[in-house]
Amino acid sequence: MKGKIVIITGTRPEIIKMAPIIHCFREVENLDLYLVHTGQHTDWNMSRVFIEEFELPEPYAYLNINTETQIKQIANILIGLEPILDEIAPDAVMAVGDTNSVLSAAIAANKIGIPFIHVEAGLRSFDMTMPEEVNRIIADHISSLNFPPTNRAASNLLMEGYPHEDIYVVGNPVIDSLIRMKDKAERSGILEDIEASKKPIITVTVHRRENLSRKERMMGIVDGIISLDLGTVVWPVHPHTLSILEKYGLLDKLKEKDNIIMTEPLGYIDFIGLMMRSSVIVTDSGGIQEESTFLGIPCVVVRNNTERPEALETGLSVLAGTDPKRIKYEVIRMSKIGVRPIVENNPFGDGKASIRIVDITLSYLRKGFSQRCETFQEHGPIYAALIANEMLSGRRISEVESTYGVKVISLFKKDGLIDLVRDMREIRQGEMLLVSGERSKISRLLESGSHKV
Ligand code: UDP
């Protein structure tokens, strides 16, 4: 009997990240793949271009859900999905990321009793005021299989008690897409098309609700961008952002500056082409933090936190918030760091995430399907939890960190409550530590006699 999988997308990054997975699934015999696009983005053309560029099949269903209120959006997607999932009766539903479409896909599958598979699971900003954080946590916890991109994302799931046997670290499929399109992007004539002659190029994108919904944050970002007097600023503006800039009276300010070019959202090839020709990127986007890390382009993140701390750890990405002076300072500082050749061992993946996701999903659904690929071995830090024994007892956190070359991330007292990690804090026998570091250093610490959890 043929297997059936439904893939649900709602926004451009979801199509970009699902594209290599869709191509891998299409090579599998005896499997029917159904794409459902919710149309969560206001402009269908914004999604259409990605379907064409990635040579994807036409969606089986397009829900045409528009952005009204968040509640109506989620409710309408749920109502739209029910008859489709009932009709297809798939073996699994898969989605990537943290949008309302993903949340609704997870809830719909769960309520109908179909396994939900979450790609890009385990990301955490630890900021529950972000709608994306709430969406991710719910989707992760009601999914049957979770595919975190990195060890850190997997450790977040473990810390929340998600069962380890259903977690596979695979890398992020965004890297697969980037590798697939890089050569075409290199040939893009985007700078000539938009007549951006003056170098350096600074690419800007802003679209997060946490920024758009607060006038003072948008004013800060816009003032920061306007104050940049080096080279040309290129800002492909998301339709939602455009209407917000107009509403806050900020659009004219930007248009007055002749070193700022505002364009429509770009297709993927041109956008990657633009990034590759940029000296610095200023963004609040999640996917762009991953792509800029892979491409080795400094990235100034106009947010106060990120669910992608791996990018910060490479030194190529920095959190600047929305204070204009800080944005300007970080753009100048980061442009001095300069573009690095493509970061080897980048934390977000090695280009094989999609093949792993497909193999593991098939083996999960068909039991006994042999995996062709090993899980992603990130070259960055790994994470471990251990119970302190007499060897660690009485030693200060700073001493343990310097002796073993590891970082203590969290400390749980014997009563189970979490305690602040301070350099001078003495560790007591029986307390649990979550540590991160290079694999060899973590192994040394674990071998020192502490009990593994
Ligand atoms: N992107 C694009 N055209 C643009 C701006 C972004 O193709 O004009 C791509 C970008 O390369 C990345 C994705 O869209 O892969 C990021 O989407 P977005 O910033 O909307 O969402 P997020 O990643 O924050 O969820």
- The pLDDT tens digits for 431-450 are 998 888 888 888 888 887 56
Mean pLDDT along residues 298-315: 94
Both 77 and 168 in one domain: the answer is yes
Token representation of residue 358: 């497909």
Domain assignment present for 377: no
Both 413 and 445 in one domain: the answer is yes
Both 307 and 203 in one domain: the answer is yes
Q: How many C-beta neighbours within 10 Å does residue 1 have? A: 5
Q: Where is pLDDT greater, at 377 or 391?
A: 391
pLDDT at 365: 87
Instruction: For residue 446, report the distance from its CA to the centre of ligand 1, in Å.
Output: 41
Both 55 and 156 in one domain: the answer is yes
Both 197 and 256 in one domain: the answer is yes
pLDDT at 261: 97
Q: Would residue 164 show up in a list of annotated catalytic residues for this protein? A: no
Write the CA distances from 218 to 42, 70, 255, 314, 327, integer angstroms: 20, 21, 15, 27, 12
User: Which one of 23, 207, 379, 451 is the catalytic residue?
Assistant: 207
Residue 288 CB–ligand 1 contact under 6 Å? yes
Residue 88 CB–ligand 1 contact under 6 Å? no
Residue 90, domain extent: 3-172+349-367
Both 91 and 144 in one domain: the answer is yes
Least confident of 51-60, 283-292, 335-344: 335-344
Q: Which of 182, 288, 307 to mutate to test the pocket of ligand 1 (most atoms within 8 A of CB)?
A: 288
Both 10 and 147 in one domain: the answer is yes
pLDDT at 45: 61
Domain assignment present for 114: yes
Both 7 and 107 in one domain: the answer is yes
How far apart, in whole angstroms, are the C-alpha atoms of residue 324 and residue 224? 4
- Return the ligand 1 atom nearest residue 208 CA: 24
Instruction: For residue 238, report the distance from its CA to the centre of ligand 1, in Å.
Output: 9
> What is the tally of structural domains in the chain?
3
Residue 207 CB–ligand 1 contact under 6 Å? yes
Domain assignment present for 180: no
Tell me, what CATH number does 301's domain have?
A: 3.40.50.2000
**Alpha carbon nearest to ligand 1 atom 14, residue:** 13
pTM of this structure: 0.85
**Main-chain phi, psi angles of 417, to 5 degrees:** -80, 145
Residue 211 CB–ligand 1 contact under 6 Å? no
Residue 136 CB–ligand 1 contact under 6 Å? no
Instruction: For residue 60, report the distance from its CA to the centre of ligand 1, in Å.
Output: 23
**CB neighbours of 199 closer than 8 A, spacing ≥ 6?**
231, 232, 279
Token representation of residue 379: 């070259």
Domain assignment present for 281: yes
Domain assignment present for 271: yes
- Return the ligand 1 atom nearest residue 275 CA: 11
235 DSSP assignment: E
Segment 226-265, tens digit of pLDDT: 999 889 999 999 988 999 999 999 999 999 999 999 999 9
Both 22 and 130 in one domain: the answer is yes
Both 321 and 222 in one domain: the answer is yes
b/e per residue 110-132 (b: at least 16 CB within 10 A): beeebbbbbbbbbbbbeeeebbb
How far apart, in whole angstroms, are the C-alpha atoms of residue 115 and residue 91? 7
Token representation of residue 140: 């992760």
Domain assignment present for 386: yes
Q: How many CA atoms lie within 13 A of 202 on its CB side?
A: 26
Ordered DSSP codes for 114-138:
--EEEESTT---S-TTSHHHHHHHH
- Return the ligand 1 atom nearest residue 268 CA: 7
**CB neighbours of 167 closer than 8 A, spacing ≥ 6?**
121, 122, 146, 148, 154, 157, 158
How far apart, in whole angstroms, are the C-alpha atoms of residue 325 and residue 254? 17
> Which runs of consecutive H residues, i.e. helices, occur in 160-261?
173-186, 190-193, 209-212, 215-226, 239-247, 251-256
Domain assignment present for 181: no
Both 326 and 390 in one domain: the answer is no
pLDDT at 122: 97
**Alpha carbon nearest to ligand 1 atom 6, residue:** 271
Given a contact cutoff of 8 angstroms between Cβ atoms, the answer to whether 100 and 74 are in contact is yes
Q: Where is pLDDT greater, at 43 or 425?
A: 425
Instruction: For residue 235, report the distance from its CA to the centre of ligand 1, in Å.
Output: 12
Segment 379-412, tens digit of pLDDT: 667 788 888 988 899 999 999 999 999 988 888 8
Residue 285 CB–ligand 1 contact under 6 Å? yes
Both 295 and 192 in one domain: the answer is yes
Segment 361-373, tens digit of pLDDT: 998 887 644 444 5
Domain assignment present for 178: no
**Whether residue 57 has pLDDT greater than 90:** yes
